[in-house]
Every structure is written in structure tokens, then in C-alpha cells.
Homo-oligomer: A and B are copies of this chain.
Amino acid sequence: MQVISFLGPKGTFTHEAANMIGDNLIPYCTIPAVLESVENGESLYGVVPIENSIEGPVGITLDSLAHKFDLKISDEIIIPINQNLMVNPGTKMEDIEDVYSHSQAISQCREFIVQNNIQPHYAVSTANAAKNIVGDKTKAAIGNSKAAELYGLEIIRPNIQDTDNNETRFVVVSKDDHEPTGTDKTSIIFSIYEDKPGGLYNVLGIFQKNNVNLTKIESRPSKKGLGKYVFFVDFKGHRNDELIERIISEIEDKTYFLKVLGSYPEFR
């Protein structure tokens, strides 16, 4: 049976995403550990978050795929993020003094936390926060309903995130990417020459003249100093398509670093 590793612990949103592609799931405690488990063959697939529509990119996932691992993206999963305020059974809103969660979840519920005058604290994950508050009625945790279930907590306020449109995109990573399906996306990373002006402009021009739309463009520091970036770009098409093949080879000519992260079916 195919082993799937995911960013644990159990009861996180990543667990929910991983569950959509299989049952034989093993949690790992960091994103690099998930990727390493795929690289060394302990698991066939790894599931990690790559971006959230409110908080932006997950830096460690992008950086690891760019610089540390030679793995491919073979699929993507997008799930809506509904944050819930969870408490020990019998707790009332006015009992709550402190709330625990992952920093991204705290950020996503900032207005609710301020309005209710609760002190926020960071935990390693939403599930960890849930686990940590068990038995203490002055504390609450923010996370998904799976975590409440897992640790016997009650959801006292559902959907407390500040804005709708809150969704997280996860990638499934493996040693090879996906074969063409007809509705595919391709992810690439590149760095431009710092000393030549208009580097990014020239690369975007290649997509423009070929009428290929970008579905994502994300800048990340190259870790070589302020103002130096790598760009993560997603676009429609499979790297085996003739047009995409040509585009990639043109980009290669205009950049000093290019890595194709993989082609995979678009999530719907």
C-alpha cells in the first residue's frame, strides 16, 4: 500500500488534505522531514502546504523545493480553511483568557481575538494547540474540526476567521511528476541576472507573446541579500506540451537558474 507522509500532527488541515488522496498516512513533524521521507523512499508521496490565500506563501516549502530537495510536484489540493474556537466541554466564552494556535491561524483570526479580548499565544500547529489546552477551562485553541474531535474539545464559535476567501493550497510531492491529463499546470522557479535590468519583464514577455496565462507569481528572497529574488511561477499546460517545452527552453536562455518543479492536474 502506498505510504503518504504529511505535515503532522494528526488533526491539522494538512491531515485533512492528505486524507483526500489516500488512507495510509504517516505524520512528520516538519516540512523538510516530510520531503526527506519521500526522497529516501520511506513514503511514495508527501503532502505539505504551499500557500494560503490570506497569509501568502509557506516559505519553508518553497525554499525546500527550490534549494534542498530534488522532488517533483505531482498533484495539488485546495481546501477551504474554516477556523474554529475550541474549548474544553462546559467552558463559557467569558471563562477564556488565553487562546493558542499556529501563528498563521492566529493571524487569520486577529479581529475576533481583539474583539473578544483574549491573549493570543503561538503553538507549533493547530492540532498541538488543541492538545495543549485539554483540561484547562481558561484556555481555548483555534483549529479545524478534526482537531476538536481528536482531543474531545467542543467548538464554541465556528468560522472565526476575519475574511472569507480563506483557502490553502497543498502540493503532493513525489520523485516524478504527473503524466499529462489535458488540464494541467506547471510550476517553475527561476532567478534572473541581477546586473541586467528588466530580467523579470523579459521572462514574463515569453508567456505574454505565447498567450500562456500565469496562475501564480510569487517572489521569494534568494537569501543572497535584500532585493535579490527567486520567482515561483505557475502556468497552465504540461511540460511535455510542445508549446510549454519551447517556453521553458526560452526562459532557460534568459535566467541563470531555472528549475521545473513539475506538471500536474489542475485542482477543481
Contact = CB atoms under 8 A, between A and B. Distances in A.
A53 B220 CA distance: 9
B215 A204 contact: no
Given A122-B103, A122-B124, A219-B218, A226 B167 contact: yes
Contact of A217 (B78, B167, B219, B224): B219
- What secondary structure prevails in chain A residues at the interface with B? mixed
A60 interface: yes
A117 interface: no
A59 B204 CA distance: 25
Contacts of A218: 219
A218 to B, nearest CB: 5
A225 interface: yes
Contacts of A51: 221, 226
Interface in A167-211: 167, 169, 197-198, 200-201, 204-205, 207-208, 211
A225 B122 contact: no
Given A55-B221, A221-B52, A226-B53, A208 B215 contact: no
Contact of A226 (B169, B200, B220, B225): B169
A163 B169 CA distance: 29
A54 B223 contact: yes
Contacts of A91: none
A221 B220 CA distance: 13
B227 A216 contact: yes
Given A52-B221, A217-B229, 10 more contacts: A51-B221, A53-B221, A56-B220, A103-B103, A169-B226, A198-B207, A198-B208, A200-B204, A201-B205, A216-B226
10 contacts: A53-B226, A54-B223, A56-B57, A56-B221, A103-B122, A163-B223, A169-B226, A198-B207, A201-B201, A201-B205
